[in-house]
Copies of this chain bind each other. A is one copy, B any other.
Amino acid sequence: MVLNYSVIQQDKSCGARLGLLHTTHGTVETPIFMPVGTQAAVKTMTPEEVKEVGGRLILGNTYHLYLRPGQELIREAGGLHRFMNWDGPILTDSGGFQVFSLGPLRKISEEGVTFRSHIDGSEHFFSPEKAVEVQEALGSDIAMVFDECAPYPCTHEYALEALKRTTRWARRCADAHRREDQALFGIVQGGVFADLRRQSALDLVGLDLPGYAIGGLSVGEPKAVMYEMLDVTVGFLPPEKPRYLMGVGSPDCLVEGVVRGIDMFDCVLPTRIARNGTVLTHHGKLVVRNAEYARDFDPLDPTCDCYACRNYSRAYIRHLIKAGEVLGIRLTTIHNLRFIQRLMQEIRDAIRQGNILEYRDNFLKNYLQA
Contacts and interface: CB of A to CB of B under 8 A. Distances in A.
Given A77-B297, A85-B312, A68 B319 contact: yes
Interface in A295-326: 295, 297, 307, 311-313, 315-316, 319-320, 322-323, 325-326
A44 interface: yes
Copies in the complex: 2
Contact of A315 (B41, B73, B319): B73
Contacts of A366: none
A331 to B, nearest CB: 9
Contact of A41 (B44, B297, B327): B327
A330 interface: yes
A319 B69 contact: yes
Contacts of A84: 316
B44 A76 contact: no
A172 interface: no
A10 interface: no
A158 interface: no
B330 A326 contact: yes
A294 B76 CA distance: 11
Given A41-B325, A320-B41, A326-B329, A77 B46 contact: no
A43 interface: yes
Nearest to A322: B68
Nearest to A312: B85
Contacts of A295: 73, 76
Contact of A39 (B40, B68, B323): B323
A290 to B, nearest CB: 14
Given A294-B69, A327-B45, A327-B46, A320 B40 contact: yes
Contacts of A152: none
A330 B44 CA distance: 8
A83 B316 contact: yes
Contact of A69 (B43, B45, B315, B327): B315
Interface in A83-113: 83-85
Interface string A153-179: 000000000000000000000000000
B326 A44 contact: yes
Looking at A68, A73, A316, A328, which has the most chain B CB atoms within 10 Å of its CB? A316
A68 B323 contact: yes
Interface string A57-90: 0000000100011000100110000011100000
Nearest to A308: B46
Interface of A: 39-41, 43-46, 64, 68-69, 73, 76-77, 83-85, 294-295, 297, 307, 311-313, 315-316, 319-320, 322-323, 325-330
Given A69-B294, A83-B315, 14 more contacts: A39-B320, A40-B316, A41-B320, A43-B327, A44-B327, A64-B323, A68-B322, A69-B319, A69-B322, A73-B294, A77-B315, A77-B316, A326-B326, A326-B329
17 contacts: A39-B320, A40-B320, A41-B320, A43-B325, A44-B326, A44-B327, A46-B330, A69-B294, A69-B315, A69-B319, A69-B323, A73-B315, A77-B297, A77-B313, A83-B316, A84-B316, A85-B312
